[in-house]
Amino acid sequence: MTIKELLYKVPILATAGDMEAVINHLTLDSRNVGPGSLFIAVRGTVTDGHTFIDTAVRQGASAILCEEMPVNPEPAVTYVQVQDSAYTQGLIAATFYGHPSRKLNLVGVTGTNGKTSTATLLFRLFRALGYRVGLISTVQNQIDDTVIPATHTTPDVITTNALLTDMLKHGCTHCFMEVSSHAVVQQRIAGLHFAGGIFTNITHDHLDFHGTFDNYIRAKKGFFDQLPASAFALVNIDDKRGMVMLQNTAARKESFSLQTLATFKGKLLADSLFGLHMEIDGKEVWFKLIGRFNAYNILGVYGAAVLLGEDPEEVLTQLSGLMPPPGRFEQVVSDEQIVGIVDYAHTPDALQNVLETIDGLRQADEQIITIVGCGGNRDAAKRPIMAEIACKFSDKVILTSDNPRDEDPMAILEQMQAGVPPIDFKKTLTLPDRREAIQKAVSMANPHDIILVAGKGHETYQEINGVKHDFDDRQVLLEAFANVKSGSVDTP
Ligand SMILES: CC(=O)N[C@H]1[C@@H](OP(=O)(O)OP(=O)(O)OC[C@H]2O[C@@H](n3ccc(=O)[nH]c3=O)[C@H](O)[C@@H]2O)O[C@H](CO)[C@@H](O)[C@@H]1O[C@H](C)C(=O)N[C@@H](C)C(=O)N[C@H](CCC(=O)O)C(=O)O
Ligand SMILES: Nc1ncnc2c1ncn2[C@@H]1O[C@H](COP(=O)(O)OP(=O)(O)OP(=O)(O)O)[C@@H](O)[C@H]1O
């Protein structure tokens, strides 16, 4: 495709060089440039892509898209100056790949919590309904059965267009994708044509990036502002910012709620460690997902499926059979009925959510044993807080390692220990070896006790000093359960 063709409908400030130059590759990163590449210079949070224009040219770039023309342009290279190269990147990527987002039903999910759960449930539901489906999520990207590792919650828009193109080649009719607030601000969804958008909820998070809560809300709202009139905007109106998301959107305004009148109204009839019993659209259904927050995810998924034209009864039937997404309140139960729960809760807010849910569901004589750690080379402020939350809701707590990375695991654990209230010293153990921590918890548990293994969720590694060692909480729990059964772990 020529640069001229790529720039169809793109507002341009200036150009230099041959507009018939042929482009066969788009990239934001000078390190990936080769002959035929269009290098898009974007101002980032760490550095400015414009400083790599010369490198890109030396590596053979055919064209450069930038906001500022270089002082000494190379005559053999085509330069295009635009107002906003991050935004323009989206328009160009869509043209380069032939607008794949217009050729399938692309539904985006945004919110502080529940994006992965909602997108994954939609992916599984539509597969169960007989469609070929794509998924773009934090845990993984997927095209039907083919798993593609994910680097971001929402990839850059060139990668997304490439993924959508592959999905179309595989016959996909739907793609469900997570839309992070970072992605909205950085124009990673520019030029994508959505068939629908879902808002789960918003709580204080990512303020390191957005600065203020208002900016964070505005970022989420930016997604709904972008939806076309043909799309639906489906929001959780039990969240007080739900209605804010709908202001100014051109899309059809739809809502879901457990508390008030809404397009999709649900009622939570029962909530236990075995699942949820809900009434939706006058029908009573059991679901295998656990916790009130999943009742919201179910309603959002149900609403989106109905808005996409699916038969409500068939949707409920298929939804009732779905298991939780990987590492999201995932249960591993021993033959002795010790309940292991593996959850990705790696922030104070998520840990509190998941422990409150478990606390609300257990019987009086069932203990909660929590295993928790905090990552190295990441926010240290949360370490004592997470230990304190674990103590507040648990009968026993084991502090352990969770991706210590380049830090000394014991130093991280000492910072966690600082958050343990003195009254809880007796119920808290510190075991840096995560496997040993899980085995110890299993050896301490009685039938029906609940072991929460928090933090890693779907992850299958433990990162120590730059090396990712195989480690899967679910697998280690299963092994520990088997060892207890065969008597190879001491029981007190
Ligand atoms: C803070 C942040 O969001 N950073 C993202 C951003 O990078 P940046 O703006 O910091 O880029 P930069 O390093 O300043 O570089 C500027 C430009 O120079 C280019 N460059 C740089 C070096 C070089 O040698 N040559 C070169 O061309 C870069 O490719 C880039 O285009 O744009 C990049 C391209 O899209 C992203 O890969 C990168 O994600 C980083 C890795 C990241 O960790 N992001 C996280 C915070 C994130 O986005 N998370 C959300 C989920 C949040 C949640 O809900 O939990 C997500 O969607 O994943
Ligand atoms: N609707 C919801 N409301 C509140 N908490 C939720 C909701 N759905 C899931 N959770 C819990 O919040 C945590 C994150 O869930 P999930 O991965 O689905 O959210 P996310 O928005 O994708 O977050 P992340 O980007 O960190 O993965 C998990 O611990 C899960 O148990």
Percent of the chain exceeding pLDDT 90 equals 89
What spacing in Å lies between the alpha carbon of 100 and ligand 2's midpoint? 28
Regarding whether 357 and 299 lie in a shared domain, the answer is: no
ipTM for the assembly: 0.95
pLDDT over threshold 50, residue 491: no
Q: Are residues 7 and 151 in the same domain?
A: no
pLDDT of res. 205: 65
Ligand 2 closest atom vs CA 113: 21
- 434 C-beta neighbours (distance < 10 Å), count: 24
Range of the domain at 64: 3-96
Q: Is residue 7 part of a domain?
A: yes
Q: Please provide the size of the chain in residues.
A: 492
Digit-coded pLDDT (tens) for 58-82: 999 999 999 999 999 999 999 999 9
Task: Find the Cα–Cα–Cα–Cα dihedral 204, 209, 212, 217, rounded to 10°.
Answer: -60
Contact 61, 38 (CB under 8 A): yes
Q: How many domains does the chain have?
A: 3
Pick the atom of ligand 1 nearest to 47's CA.
Answer: 14
Residue 407 pLDDT class (50, 70, 90 cuts): very high
Judgement on whether residues 433 and 285 belong to the same structural domain of the protein:
no
Query: Quick one: pLDDT at residue 242?
Result: 95
Domain contains 325: no
- Flag whether pLDDT at 492 surpasses 50: no
Q: Is the pLDDT of residue 55 over 80?
A: yes
Asked whether the predicted pLDDT for residue 53 surpasses 90, the reply is: yes
Q: Which atom of ligand 2 is nearest to the CA of 296?
A: 1
Q: How far is the CA of 328 from the centre of ligand 2 (A)?
A: 7
pLDDT tens per residue, range 416-440 = 999 999 999 999 999 999 999 999 9
- What is the rounded distance in angstroms from the CA atom of residue 132 to the CA atom of residue 192? 20
pTM above 0.80, yes or no: yes
Lowest mean pLDDT among 5-9, 22-26, 102-106: 5-9
Contact 148, 142 (CB under 8 A): yes
The residue from 50, 68, 96 where one domain ends is 96
Ligand number with the minimum distance to the CA of 153: 1
Binding residue ranges = 28, 30, 111-117, 153-154, 180, 186, 188, 378, 402-405, 455, 459
Q: For residue 131, is it left (φ>0), alpha (ψ between -120 and 50) or beta?
A: beta
353-373 confidence digits (pLDDT tens)? 999 999 999 999 999 999 999
What pLDDT was estimated at residue 486? 64
Residue 489: pLDDT above 80?
no
Q: How far is CA 410 from CA 272, 380, 465, in A?
A: 37, 13, 14
DSSP 3-state of 461? strand
Pick from 250, 301, 263: nearest CA to 133: 301
More confident of the two residues 284 and 484:
284
CATH number at residue 454: 3.90.190.20
Task: List residues near ligand 2 (CB under 6 A).
Answer: 111, 113-117, 138, 153, 178, 200-201, 293, 296-297, 328-329, 343-345, 350, 353-354
- Candidate of 110, 112, 113 to mutate for ligand 2, largest count of ligand atoms within 8 Å of Cβ: 113
Q: Is there a single domain that holds both residue 218 and residue 128?
A: yes
Copy the structure tokens of residue 200. 């789960």
pLDDT value at residue 424: 98
> For atom 29 of ligand 1, which residue has the closest CA?
29
312 and 344 together in one domain: no
Is residue 422 assigned to a domain? yes
DSSP state of 273: T
Average pLDDT over residues 332-351: 93
Residues 64-86: b if buried by 16+ CB within 10 A, e if exposed: bbbbebbeeebeebbbbbbeebb
Per residue in 225-235, pLDDT (tens digit) is 999 999 999 99
pLDDT given at position 487: 52
Ligand nearest to the CA of 182: 1
Using one digit for the tens of pLDDT, what is the confidence trace for 80-113?
A: 999 999 999 999 999 999 999 999 999 999 998 8
324: in domain: no
